[in-house]
Amino acid sequence: MSATAKPADDSWRNIPGLNPNDQQRVMDLDSRHFDYLDLTSGNGPHTLELIRKAIIHYNSLLLQEPEKLKQGIVQSLDPAIFCRLGHFFVLVLEWEKALQAFQTFLVASIKARTDPYFYYGLGLSYFHLDLHLAASTAFQHALYLDPAFTRAQEVLFKLGLIFKHLQIYDVAYKYYRRTMNDPTTFTETKEMINFHIGHVYELQGRYEMAKAYYEKVIQSPTCDNQLRAEVLRQLGWMFHTVEEFGHRNQRDESAIKCLSKSIEYDPNNGQTWYFMGRCYAAMSRVHDAFSAYRSSIDKSEANADTWCSIGTLYQQQNQPMDALQAYVCAVQLDKSHSPAWFDLGMLYESLQQFSDALHCYQNGIKYGKTEATPAISHRIEILENALKTSPAIFDALPKQLPSLEEALALPIAAELTAGHRPPQTVKKTTLLPETSVLPVLNAQQITLLNILTQTEHELAPPQKQLLEQLRQQAQQVQQVQQATLTSPKTPYGASMAAVQSLRDQPFPLMSFSPTVDIGLSKHLEKIDELVKRTAADILAECASLDYGKLSGQHLRLNLLSDNVSPPVPPKPPQPPLPKSALDPKTPCVYVENKKEAMSLDLENNLLRQPCMIVKNLSNVLKLDLSLFSTKTLVETAPDHTIEIRTQKKQSPDDNFDALGAERIWKCESVRTFSTVSKYGICQATDFQKALQEENEGKAPPSDTDSTNSGSKKDKGKKSGNMIRFGTNVDLSDPSIWRAQLAELDKLPSLVKVKAAKNMLSHLEHTILGMNSVQLYMKIPGCRTPGHQENLNFCSVNINIGPGDCEWFCVSHEYWGVINQLCEKNDVHFLHGSWWPNLTDLRNANVPVYRFTQRPGDLVWVNAGTVHWVQAIGWCNNIAWNVGPFTPEQYYLGAERYEWNKLQSYKSIVPMVHLTWSIAVNVIFQKKDEKLWKLIRLTLRRSMKYCHVLLEHLKAQGKTIKYQAREKNENAHYCEDCEAEVFNVLFIKQKEDNSSEYIVRCYDCARKIDKDLKNILVLHQYKPKELMDMYDRCQLADS
């Protein structure tokens, strides 16, 4: 019997047994009411009962779907039922079920892509399940779709928490600052936000700023006592640990004062008592320290830190047995507590129980989360050698303490464990009774199976895989659901195993967009007629708008579409490449003479490849690369600023965690600043040291010894030295670097820093490292982590030498896959720092170009190519970006511009401003028609947006002043969201400095002043100017 498709209707929304008022009440509820709806008092219990009835009704409808399928009815339910269920589950704190419902809605309905309330609910679900990167993605989608979203402050605050958790502190601070700028009342106080800002400063090591914010919170008259206690505790501990706050005694006195005050406000906080004990111990007030530790144990749950500190005190008081029991208590509470293991090892070693000491040290490394100090590693090496050579001697030594094995089996003394409470099992809070779950597949998934079956030919590969899985289980599901139909159980549920699987792929149903080639060609087909219209025609399209009552969609600019749909990453090319094609040979060209170097053939070759090595170019063009040597740099500008990145030295194939135990993607480095001359000394010293070792026959292990990314865990521990990478040396100032910049003018026009055929040369201001040269000073092991260039522009890199660099490149078509792999490995693609695992890439069928860049080699990185680089030897490199006039380059730039807006990442190339500059400066030939269409489309959208926004402001009664743009004036960015602000500027004077003004975008300006009463609105181009520029941007006749 053939299935009959029936259109979805809205009858499912009507909850049986509810009066019209209650019916409307239920329909008005969604995730925005989370934390704003009291379901325990007043009308709360009645609302909770309404939600319960709605969930039961929707579940009963889902349970009927298998029977309808048997009857040949393919689909009768609107997929929005899953969105409604998701919202209801959020309100009753059923996070796993909410996530399951929202995920189903996401794949089942295209409407999900433009629903900010859905994304908010999805973000809350991810957030409360600790899926931080997925939560940030969902929250950012909500803000992208509607910057004036009702819960924007909640979203901004939670994004601050997320990025602080991810240790991306600059981004966390920006979100907290944006939250502070919004005067709207929400669930958190200004004092709480200031506390988090202070904590960000503390985590960054900016202690004076942190102290200022903490004191600001403490002194606030509206700060509640609980928060004041927390801030005082944090401030007290900072006094104790931060040396820059003065002498030890003075700092500890200040710390005790803060902690004592904190205890006055919250006497039952065990952490505060623990900190107090640490301070007393540092002041040698042993009795007070013991008393404070005792209070910590009495007031809080089991804490390994406290027991470890008690052990240290006992050891200092020469009470080894008590110290032993305290340390054992610590490691029993937390097997991964490295300091307790190491301290216990030192206790055993001090009593000449060397075998037990060695076992403790080894356990600290094996189980611990903290890396062993060089001293501990040295002790392990000595003990291992000693025990191997003379074990009988050590066994004969008298034992003062029980062995480690005996100690771990001993009962802990009652006087030590008095007040100890074992860790409590935390149960998920829910406002509904616990319900059973289906053992195989629930009704929601049956409905999803039906939906996917109808659109099978349109599905992306991940969705096809999901469909296949559902089909394989369909028969079992139907059997289980037949039994369920006769029982009152809900069909809705998710196990923690399911949630764990989401951690492995936190946004699994997020569909991909087509690849750029397909997207670009379709894009050009659709815009053919639009770009032919005149400026007057475009503005006439707006005649029917009621400017006083415009929706948010009309007041936002999107370079990719005329609606506000968020961009999505590209799907990987299909079909997948065979494994034999995943190690492609890197394109390489050897330039024989100057004619070849300047030829159009070379340009075309570069533009066709994701990356390319150009050899012998510096020789045939007679480039004097010594101008970029460390010696010349130090002679020219010894005090020139250089950014230093302190990194862990590892093989190019490897990226291990701090303990060297497992491979990770996160690639950490510490940022500081120095001068060219100081780093030059470090670079030369490192080279001389290596040369001396080589002459003495102690050649250091090569960074290229590893030829694969196998799983040997000891490999990472062999090369854990910290090294310093000198990066981002700015060579833009012609008054200092005139000779260097003149030398680069010898290059072919496509790869020149400044050239008429380089889009970036049409900007009127300098963007460091993009339309100007930056230099990198390297020693072996220095890494540039994985990234795409800003706005996907092409890049040029020349190795000055004398050493080599190793490169890894992936074509732009695969950046969506790498973005997903970053999420899976808990690192942010744009804001984070990451070094890909080659095995992960291979398993995902991602081809990787791997090659060595010799001295004098020029590496071309095409638009959007993902790449990461490691120095093999001692060398300097110079690099910059170029923007070839191709439709692919422009489209990829516009695509990344919108993706950056979605991710709240600043686009340092102002694409709108750049597009207008190109329109004025460039004459487009017939061969440039595709690029011309894209340029005209952006001009059209920008001009129309400016016109609508200005008319809207006038309709609102706002005065707009004209102030012409000055020559070489920098592009403007919003102070809060960092989006580009073109033409229409919303300006407010800085409160602390009357001579400075802050520029904001329309949405952020309205957040701080809804009616714009105290905001000055300027426009820098008259409407006629923009219209004339648009109309003059035409294809030339020849």
Q: What is the pLDDT of residues 140-171, one digit of tens each?
A: 999 999 988 899 999 999 999 999 999 999 99
Please give the pLDDT value at position 482: 40
Pairing, β 783-787 against β 866-871: antiparallel
**For residue 285, is it within any domain?**
no
Please give the pLDDT value at position 442: 52
| Same-domain status, 838 and 971 | no
Please give the pLDDT value at position 426: 35
1005 vs 379, which has greater pLDDT? 1005
Query: What are residue 802's DSSP bridge partners?
Result: 875
Q: Region of 426 please: left (phi>0), alpha (psi -120 to 50) or beta.
A: beta
**For residue 693, is it within any domain?**
yes
Q: Which of 376, 396, 422 is the last residue of a domain?
A: 422
With bands split at pLDDT 50, 70 and 90, how would you rate the model's confidence at 848? very high
Please give the pLDDT value at position 681: 93
**For residue 1026, is it within any domain?**
yes
Query: What are residue 775's DSSP bridge partners?
Result: 729, 878
Q: What is the mean pLDDT of residues 508-519?
A: 37
d(C-alpha 799, C-alpha 776), whole Å:
10
| Same-domain status, 945 and 846 | no
d(C-alpha 59, C-alpha 55), whole Å:
6
| Same-domain status, 1017 and 931 | yes
d(C-alpha 677, C-alpha 681), whole Å:
6
With bands split at pLDDT 50, 70 and 90, how would you rate the model's confidence at 466? low
Of 585-589, 967-971, 977-981, the range with the lowest mean pLDDT is 967-971
Burial category of 563 from C-beta neighbours within 10 Å (exposed 0-12, middle 13-18, buried 19 and up): exposed
How high is the mean pLDDT of the chain? 85
Please give the pLDDT value at position 148: 86
With bands split at pLDDT 50, 70 and 90, how would you rate the model's confidence at 40? confident
d(C-alpha 340, C-alpha 363), whole Å:
10
d(C-alpha 376, C-alpha 962), whole Å:
69
Please give the pLDDT value at position 478: 43
d(C-alpha 89, C-alpha 97), whole Å:
6
Peptide bond into 802 cis (omega under 30): yes
Kindly tell me the number of DSSP H helices and DSSP E strands found in the chain. 41, 19
Please give the pLDDT value at position 673: 93
With bands split at pLDDT 50, 70 and 90, how would you rate the model's confidence at 118? very high
d(C-alpha 675, C-alpha 256), whole Å:
40
- How does DSSP classify residue 406? H
Please give the pLDDT value at position 109: 86
3-state secondary structure of 527: helix
709: pLDDT strictly greater than 50: no
- How does DSSP classify residue 300? S
Q: Centre a 10 Å sphere on the Cβ of residue 4 and count the other Cβ atoms it contains.
A: 11
With bands split at pLDDT 50, 70 and 90, how would you rate the model's confidence at 445? low
Q: What is the mean pLDDT of residues 916-938?
A: 94
| Same-domain status, 821 and 853 | yes
978: pLDDT strictly greater than 90: yes
d(C-alpha 88, C-alpha 217), whole Å:
36
**For residue 238, is it within any domain?**
no
Please give the pLDDT value at position 516: 37
Q: How far is CA 610 from CA 81, 508, 790, 893, in A?
A: 45, 28, 16, 16
Q: How many domains does the chain have?
A: 4
Q: What is the mean pLDDT of residues 520-531?
A: 73
Please give the pLDDT value at position 369: 74
Q: How far is CA 226 from CA 36, 229, 268, in A?
A: 21, 5, 11
Report the CATH number at residue 683.
2.60.120.650
Could you read off the pLDDT of 228-286 as tens digits, one per residue?
A: 999 999 999 999 999 999 999 999 999 999 999 999 999 999 899 999 999 999 998 99
With bands split at pLDDT 50, 70 and 90, how would you rate the model's confidence at 368? confident
Q: What is the mean pLDDT of residues 371-384?
A: 83
476: pLDDT strictly greater than 50: no
Query: What are residue 673's DSSP bridge partners?
Result: 643
**For residue 220, is it within any domain?**
no
Please give the pLDDT value at position 517: 42
d(C-alpha 680, C-alpha 629), whole Å:
10
Q: Centre a 10 Å sphere on the Cβ of residue 181 and count the other Cβ atoms it contains.
A: 16
Q: Which pTM value belongs to this model?
A: 0.84
Could you read off the pLDDT of 738-770 as tens digits, one per residue?
A: 999 999 999 999 999 999 999 999 998 999 999
68: pLDDT strictly greater than 50: yes
Strands ordered across the beta sheet of 805-810: 783-787, 866-871, 805-810, 849-853
Please give the pLDDT value at position 825: 93
Q: Which of 422, 457, 479 is the last residue of a domain?
A: 422
Q: Centre a 10 Å sphere on the Cβ of residue 655 and count the other Cβ atoms it contains.
A: 24
422: pLDDT strictly greater than 50: no
Please give the pLDDT value at position 441: 46
Q: What is the mean pLDDT of residues 6-22?
A: 76
Please give the pLDDT value at position 650: 94
Could you read off the pLDDT of 621-639 as tens digits, one per residue?
A: 999 999 999 999 999 999 9
> Contact 617/589 with Cβ under 8 angstroms?
no
User: Tokens 């295209």 belong to which residue?
Assistant: 110
Most confident of 118-122, 478-482, 572-576, 685-689: 118-122
Q: What is the mean pLDDT of residues 804-830?
A: 96
> Contact 781/871 with Cβ under 8 angstroms?
yes
Q: Which residues contact 991 (CB under 8 A, 6 or more apart)?
A: none
Q: What is the mean pLDDT of residues 849-873?
A: 98
Q: How far is CA 156 from CA 32, 141, 163, 189, 816, in A?
A: 14, 12, 11, 14, 25
Please give the pLDDT value at position 149: 87
| Percent of the residues in the chain that have a pLDDT greater than 70, as a whole number | 84
| Same-domain status, 546 and 411 | no
313: pLDDT strictly greater than 60: yes
With bands split at pLDDT 50, 70 and 90, how would you rate the model's confidence at 702? very low
Please give the pLDDT value at position 523: 65
Which helix or strand (DSSP H or E) is residue 339 part of? helix 338-350
With bands split at pLDDT 50, 70 and 90, how would you rate the model's confidence at 77? confident
Please give the pLDDT value at position 710: 37
Q: Which residues contact 382 (CB under 8 A, 6 or more apart)?
A: none
Please give the pLDDT value at position 672: 93
Which helix or strand (DSSP H or E) is residue 386 part of? helix 374-389
The packing angle between helices 80-91 and 44-63, to 10°, is 140
Q: What is the mean pLDDT of residues 849-868?
A: 98
Could you read off the pLDDT of 180-192 as tens digits, one per residue?
A: 988 888 899 999 9
3-state secondary structure of 570: strand
| Percent of the residues in the chain that have a pLDDT greater than 90, as a whole number | 64
| Same-domain status, 463 and 341 | no
Q: What is the mean pLDDT of residues 407-417?
A: 64
Q: 472 φ, ψ to 5°?
A: -65, -30
Please give the pLDDT value at position 531: 84
| Same-domain status, 926 and 1010 | yes
Could you read off the pLDDT of 641-683 as tens digits, one per residue?
A: 999 999 999 999 999 987 777 899 999 888 999 999 999 999 9
Q: 861 φ, ψ to 5°?
A: -115, 115
| Same-domain status, 51 and 140 | yes
Report the CATH number at residue 30.
1.25.40
| Same-domain status, 546 and 684 | no
| Same-domain status, 653 and 625 | yes
493 vs 194, which has greater pLDDT? 194
With bands split at pLDDT 50, 70 and 90, how would you rate the model's confidence at 67? low
| Same-domain status, 757 and 817 | yes
**For residue 678, is it within any domain?**
yes
Q: Which of 856, 881, 902 is the last residue of a domain?
A: 902
**For residue 239, is it within any domain?**
no
Pairing, β 960-962 against β 1016-1019: parallel
- Per the structure block, which two tokens stand in for 244? 């820059």
Q: Domain of residue 402: give its range.
A: 320-422
Q: Which residues contact 312 (CB under 8 A, 6 or more apart)?
A: 281, 323, 343
Please give the pLDDT value at position 505: 40
| Same-domain status, 357 and 389 | yes
509: pLDDT strictly greater than 50: no
Please give the pLDDT value at position 182: 83
**For residue 95, is it within any domain?**
yes
Please give the pLDDT value at position 697: 67
553: pLDDT strictly greater than 70: yes
436: pLDDT strictly greater than 80: no
> Contact 107/448 with Cβ under 8 angstroms?
yes
3-state secondary structure of 86: helix
